[in-house]
Structure 1
Amino acid sequence: MPEITRQQLILALIPAGANPRLAGVNLQELDMTRLDLTGANLKQAALTAARLRETSLRSANLFFADLALAQLPGADLNQANLQGANMTSCNLQGANLAGTNMTGVNLNDANLLNAIMTGASVSGVKFNQNTVWPDGKKGNQSSPGNYV
């Protein structure tokens, strides 16, 4: 269960202005669909099974955040820091990951179909045979470096 509700989060974002600080906050299973979290500090936040469809996370800090099972189709993560994040079984269909730091990210069982990864840093990315790449290839049929 998340520490706060969607309504409480929205009310907290209004006075927070640019770059809201949510580091380490438990946001598991929270519906954050279409919220503007541009520049947010979500370092080590618990976002397991969170719903982030079409959410703006541009330049957000998601350093070592737990995004396992999170739903991010169409999310904008342009220039975000995802270093060390757990994105196991994450839905990233059509997400914008351009310029994102994905160093050491766990993409086991993740779905990146039609995601944009241009300019992303992908060293040390972990994936398995169930990882779906932007072009629909699976696992070892491709690798993250083919999409940057």
Structure 2
Amino acid sequence: MDTISFLNEYKSGQRNFQGVTLHQAKLTKAELTGVNLSEADLSGADLSEANLSKCNLARANLTNADLSQANLHSANLSEVNLIGADLMKANLLDANLSRADLRGANLMWANLLGANLSEAEMSGAVLSGANLRAANLIGSNINESEFNDTELAEAIITELEMTGEILHMGLSHQWITWAGSY
């Protein structure tokens, strides 16, 4: 499906686009609240500043997608592929990123307040300046990730996998739940 057809169908009331292919689509600032894009191929897509709040993106392919400054508030991103994606300054408030693949993703200054990142693969991700307050990181892999100036107050980080090097994880003066060893 091409981008124009997709947007026209959305404007006409269609909300179910499960499995659609929108590889490298240009959807900057698109208004897509509540759309079902589960299992969609959005690899390389430009979704910067798009409104994807309450969207279902479960198991979607967003490899190398630009989601910078996108609104993903309460979105379902479980098992999504976000390898190398740009989520700088994205709003992921209360988003479900359980079992998401965020290897090498840029989450600088992203708002992940209350997000579910349980069992997420985040090795090599950049989370500098991100807000992970009250986020669920149970069972996540953060090997070689960057957490410079990251807000981790009240984050749940039990069973966190961090056997490799972690680049500047500032945990001083943070209120976190920790029940594991590293």
Fold agreement, TM-score > 0.5: yes
RMSD value over aligned CA atoms? Answer: 2.5
Q: Which runs of 5+ in 1 are unaligned?
A: none
Pair member with larger Rg = 2
Which residue of the partner structure matches residue 133 of structure 1? 142
Which residue of the partner structure matches residue 169 of structure 2? 146
Cα offset, 1:141, TM superposition = 5.9
Q: How does 1:55-70 map to 2 (within 5 A)?
A: 55-70=65-80
Which residue of the partner structure matches residue 101 of structure 2? 91
CA deviation digits over 1:47-95, x for unaligned, max 9? 0000000000000000000000000000000000000000000000000
Which residue of the partner structure matches residue 6 of structure 1? 21
Which structure has more helix as a fraction of its residues?
A: 1
> In 2, distance between residues paired with 1:44 and 1:100?
17
Cα offset, 1:8, TM superposition = 10
- Is the 1:74–1:95 Cα contact (8 Å) retained in structure 2? yes
Cα offset, 1:147, TM superposition = 6.3
State the structure with bigger RCO (CA 8 A, min sep 6), 1 or 2.
Answer: 1
Aligned length: 138
Q: How does 1:10-49 map to 2 (within 5 A)?
A: 10=25, 13=27, 18-49=28-59
With normalisation by structure 2, the TM-score equals 0.69
Cα offset, 1:127, TM superposition = 1.8
Q: Which runs of 5+ in 2 are unaligned?
A: 1-15, 146-157, 163-167, 172-182
Cα offset, 1:24, TM superposition = 0.4
- Is the 1:118–1:147 Cα contact (8 Å) retained in structure 2? no
With normalisation by structure 1, the TM-score equals 0.84
- Is the 1:71–1:90 Cα contact (8 Å) retained in structure 2? yes
Among all aligned residue pairs of Structure 1 and Structure 2, give the percentage whose two residues are the same amino acid. Answer: 33
